[in-house]
Amino acid sequence: MRLYGRARNSAGWRVRIALHLKGVPFTYVPIGGLPPGAWRALNPQGLMPALEIDGRVVAQSGAILELIEELHPDPPLLPADPVARAEVRAFAGLIAADLHPLNNNRVRKYLAGPLGRSPAEIQAWYEHWLATALASLEETLRRRDGGGPFCFGSRPTLADLHLVPQLYNARRFACDLASYPLLVAADAACREVPAFRAAAPEKLPDFTGTDPAWI
């Protein structure tokens, strides 16, 4: 398997965590090192990540995660109970479908470029959508009380591997996380897990920059 992405590509980070949790070997390919045009030729969607498997290329982190779960069911990334599975998917879905698309790089670039928005306005945009989503997720965990230490109980699930990159990004953008103690606690528990550590951006060859260290 070859996983294409960039070090801080948060959707790809979800996939890296899943692969490490399941002990699936893969080769990470930074798309910054590909020749001009090669990335679009490989992945017409043009967004990161993409997974190449047996010469076929799969886009979209959700589709890739489902594929990995089907090929490598152990350890599972979903609970056994069907309703709990749906709850985990709903938690992950709020991040993947409702938060991340509003705040990702290309959206911020469009706000800054064609729409001429100032850095302060873009920060306000980012914080607004982040707070809207994190408040919902915090309340979800508070009502459910899965007992921790992870979002939905004693094992990491799809919920955790969506949460961790999102909170990393929130910290990069200096967002205050004090109102979300349950989310912060689950994120802290994930940091203790070797698979989550192995998947961190700092571990990748194309990581550059001065972000606060994840570990």
Stretch that binds ligand GSH, among 32-40, 55-63, 129-137, 141-149 (CB under 6 A): 55-63
Which of 16, 28, 62, 92 is the binder for ligand GSH (CB under 6 A)?
A: 62
Q: For residue 28, what are its two tokens?
A: 């990470």
| 84 binds ligand GSH, rule: CB under 6 A | no
Q: Which is nearer to ligand GSH, 61 or 140 (CB)?
A: 61
Secondary structure, 3-state, 41-105: HHCCCCCCCEEEECCEEEECHHHHHHHHHHHCCCCCCCCCCHHHHHHHHHHHHHHHHHHHHHHCH
| 47 binds ligand GSH, rule: CB under 6 A | yes
Which of 30, 39, 60, 211 is the binder for ligand GSH (CB under 6 A)?
A: 60
Which of 4, 10, 94, 187 is the binder for ligand GSH (CB under 6 A)?
A: 10
At 2 the three-state DSSP class reads: strand
| 96 binds ligand GSH, rule: CB under 6 A | yes
59 - beta bridge partners? 50
d(CA 163, CA 191): 12
Q: Which is nearer to ligand GSH, 13 or 150 (CB)?
A: 13
Q: Fill in the DSSP letter of residue 31.
A: G
| 48 binds ligand GSH, rule: CB under 6 A | yes
Q: Which is nearer to ligand GSH, 103 or 140 (CB)?
A: 103
Nearest residue relative to ligand GSH (C-beta): 105
d(CA 169, CA 62): 19
Stretch that binds ligand GSH, among 4-12, 21-29, 114-122, 201-209 (CB under 6 A): 4-12
179, 138 in Cβ contact below 8 A? yes
| 167 binds ligand GSH, rule: CB under 6 A | no
| 9 binds ligand GSH, rule: CB under 6 A | yes
- Tell me which residue of 70, 102, 92 sits closest to 173, measured CA to CA: 102
| 104 binds ligand GSH, rule: CB under 6 A | yes
Q: Minimum CB separation from ligand GSH for residue 48, in Å? A: 4
User: Which conformational region is residue 92 in: left (phi greater than 0), alpha (psi within -120 to 50 degrees), or beta?
Assistant: alpha
- Tell me which residue of 158, 160, 166, 174 sits closest to 212, measured CA to CA: 174
Stretch that binds ligand GSH, among 57-65, 82-90, 112-120, 132-140 (CB under 6 A): 57-65
**Which residues form the interface with ligand GSH (CB under 6 A)?**
9-11, 47-48, 60-62, 96, 104-106
